[in-house]
């Protein structure tokens, strides 16, 4: 069976090299071989405090970044979650079969609330909406970074629970996580993951950063005082992170990078990392700048109409199975 790929991104700005190497680069690559659906999850973005005007703009900017990095509307379905009411409807149905304890144990929920984000029902049930996103289109492969594995587990459990109770409706989806760079770490604290919401700009490399800025950020990345380039995530998390980034950008195994840079000192190594990162992402910024907002909005409009049609057909099967829906 041809795999159906689904993945989502929150329209929250600051898309960084962790997002790119962990997830979005695979989005573009997978289009050649699979049936691909990519969604800008604006309803998810409403679970934390937000500004409606900024959200509207971020939806278009996020689509622009995805198009710039190679998501191709002729080969993939690209749209925003709120264009398709089926997401919220299926989330409600799945919510009726989700034990509260499962949601309370989610790392993302615990981290957000511990960081002082005001708790609300949407933030709590976030993984249920995510499960609905995936299952709505019967996707079976979900390209994401390491931090989303737990949510995919919930999705799998819900699919199984539903199928056991109402018949075989959903395939059981799997996470598709890259071997290196599934968890790119912060440049200022290499023990924490690189994050869109870190208030320190220096902690990340945005996909839209200029080459000079990228070099500056990599040069100032926190490392250690032993000058040997070596892969050891416990003793040398900063250098190991840069090695992973470099390996992900060049395709060269970490061991051969270590051989090459072991004794040249951190300065030379960091400059080499900057060179490959710039070569990898500079074209994304150039293509981003060439895209017109009006054209991007049209891509989303058309994608939303198509997604809604597809979802409608699938969703009727769910409604019938659970005993509700149109007469
Ligand atoms: P988000 O930033 O939460 O919208 O995530 C978008 C995608 O990027 C998801 O698939 C995440 O798993 C992935 N991702 C986010 N942060 C990182 C990171 N630091 N390293 C690798 N992948 C990441
Ligand atoms: N929760 C994901 C993140 O924060 C975004 C997301 C929402 C998603 N729905 C999805 C990812 C469905 C994959 C599939 O990155």
Q: Which atom of ligand 2 is nearest to the CA of 108?
A: 4
Check residue 1 and give its pLDDT: 59
Question: Is 201-288 in the same CATH topology as 4-181+292-322?
Answer: no
Q: Beta partners for 13?
A: none
Q: Separation of 44 CA from ligand 2 center, angstroms? A: 8
> What architecture is the 201-288 domain classified under in CATH?
Orthogonal Bundle (1.10)
Average pLDDT on 12-20 reads 91
Q: If you average pLDDT over residues 107-117, what whole number do you get?
A: 93
Which ranges of the chain would DSSP assign to H, the alpha helix? 17-19, 25-30, 42-45, 52-68, 86-95, 100-104, 107-114, 121-124, 126-136, 149-166, 211-219, 237-250, 254-261, 266-290, 293-322
Q: Tens digit of pLDDT for each residue in 62-87? A: 999 999 999 999 999 999 999 999 99
Q: What is the mean pLDDT of residues 134-141?
A: 97
Give backbone dihedrals phi and psi of 101, rounded to 5 degrees, phi first: -60, -35
Report which protein residue has its CA nearest ligand 2's atom 9. 130
| Residue 284 pLDDT exceeds 80 | yes
Closest ligand, as measured to the CA of 147: 1
pLDDT at 303 over 90: yes
Q: Which atom of ligand 1 is nearest to the CA of 146?
A: 12
pTM surpassing 0.75? yes
Cβ count within 10 A of residue 59: 21
Q: Which atom of ligand 1 is nearest to the CA of 12?
A: 4
- Fold of the 4-181+292-322 domain: Rossmann fold (3.40.50)
pLDDT over 80 (residue 2): no
Q: What is the pLDDT of residues 37-46, one digit of tens each?
A: 999 999 999 9
Q: How far apart are the first and last CA of the chain?
A: 33
Q: What is the pLDDT of residues 155-167, one digit of tens each?
A: 999 999 999 999 9
Kindly state if the Cβ of 144 falls inside 6 Å of ligand 1.
yes
Every domain of the chain and the residues it spans: 4-181+292-322, 201-288
Residue 280 pLDDT: 96
**Distance of CA 90 from the midpoint of ligand 1 (Å):** 24
Residues identified as active-site? 112, 193, 196
Question: CA torsion sign, 300 to 305 to 309 to 315?
Answer: positive
Average pLDDT score over the chain = 96
């Amino acid at each position: 069976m041809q795999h159906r790929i689904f993945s989502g991104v929150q329209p929250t700005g600051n898309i960084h090299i962790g997002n790119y190497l962990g997830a979005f680069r695979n989005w573009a690559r997978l289009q050649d071989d699979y049936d691909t659906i990519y969604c800008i999850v604006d309803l998810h973005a409403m679970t934390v405090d937000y500004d409606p005007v900024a959200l509207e703009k971020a939806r278009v900017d996020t689509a622009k970044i995805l198009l710039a990095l190679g998501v191709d509307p002729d080969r993939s379905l690209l749209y925003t979650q709120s264009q398709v009411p089926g997401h919220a409807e299926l989330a409600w149905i799945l919510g009726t079969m989700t034990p509260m304890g499962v949601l309370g144990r989610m790392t993302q929920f615990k981290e957000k609330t511990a960081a002082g984000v005001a708790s609300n029902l949407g933030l709590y049930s976030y993984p249920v909406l995510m499960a609905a996103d995936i299952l709505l289109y019967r996707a079976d492969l979900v390209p994401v970074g390491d931090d989303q594995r737990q949510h995919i587990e919930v999705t799998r459990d819900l699919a199984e629970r539903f199928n056991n109770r109402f018949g075989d409706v959903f395939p059981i989806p799997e996470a598709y996580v890259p071997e290196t760079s599934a968890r790119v770490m912060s440049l200022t604290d290499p023990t924490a993951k690189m994050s869109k919401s870190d208030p320190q700009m220096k902690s990340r490399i945005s996909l839209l950063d200029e080459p000079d800025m990228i070099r500056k950020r990599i040069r100032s990345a926190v490392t250690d005082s032993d000058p040997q380039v070596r892969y050891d995530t416990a003793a040398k998390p900063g250098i190991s992170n840069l090695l992973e980034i470099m390996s992900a950008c060049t395709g060269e195994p970490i061991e051969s990078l270590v051989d090459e840079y072991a004794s040249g000192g951190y300065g030379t190594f960091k400059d080499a990392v900057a060179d490959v990162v710039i070569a990898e992402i500079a074209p994304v910024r150039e293509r981003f700048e060439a895209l017109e907002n009006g054209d991007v909005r049209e891509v989303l409009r058309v994608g939303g109409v198509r997604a809604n049609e597809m979802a409608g057909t699938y969703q009727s099967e769910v409604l019938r199975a659970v005993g509700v829906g149109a007469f």
